[in-house]
Amino acid sequence: QVQLVESGGGLVQAGGSLRLACTASGRFISNYVIAWFRQAPGKEREFVAAMQRSGDTVYADSAQGRFTISRDNFKNTVYLRIDSLKPEDTAVYYCAADIAYNLGTSESWYDYWGQGTQVTVSS
């Protein structure tokens, strides 16, 4: 069992930056594929980025250039940095984990989920 807790969300003006954190407990986060998803009001949950157990990363086309996923094994945390925030980035951001070796871009791929953290971008 692994438990995931997201943090770092909040209200920020357009053009600013945020670093979201996904902290794992109960297991080492490096033993899991970790992904970030987001869900805006009235929209489906969409894939943002993921990190394989090896540390290799994959980004959604819409996330290329402004989103960066990273891992700190000592803190047992995976981060998602969002630069040049836009109002369209407003959503609840979730981290998810799976024991599988390979990552997936569908939410059904992941067995473990955090509670989400709200990101609101004002203009």
Q: For the chain, how far is it from start to end, CA to CA, in angstroms? A: 40
The pLDDT score that the predictor gives to residue 103 is: 87
Task: State the CB neighbour count (10 A cutoff) for residue 49.
Answer: 23
Q: How far is CA 5 from CA 24, 34, 117, in A?
A: 7, 12, 9
DSSP single-letter state for residue 102:
S
Look at residues 86, 91, 78 and name the one whose alpha carbon lies nearest to residue 118.
91
Rounded to whole angstroms, the Cα distance separating 111 from 38 reads: 16
Task: State the CB neighbour count (10 A cutoff) for residue 74.
Answer: 6
Answer yes or no: is pLDDT of 101 > 90: no
Q: What are 29-85's pLDDT values in tens digits?
A: 999 999 999 999 999 999 999 999 999 999 999 898 999 999 999 999 999 999 999
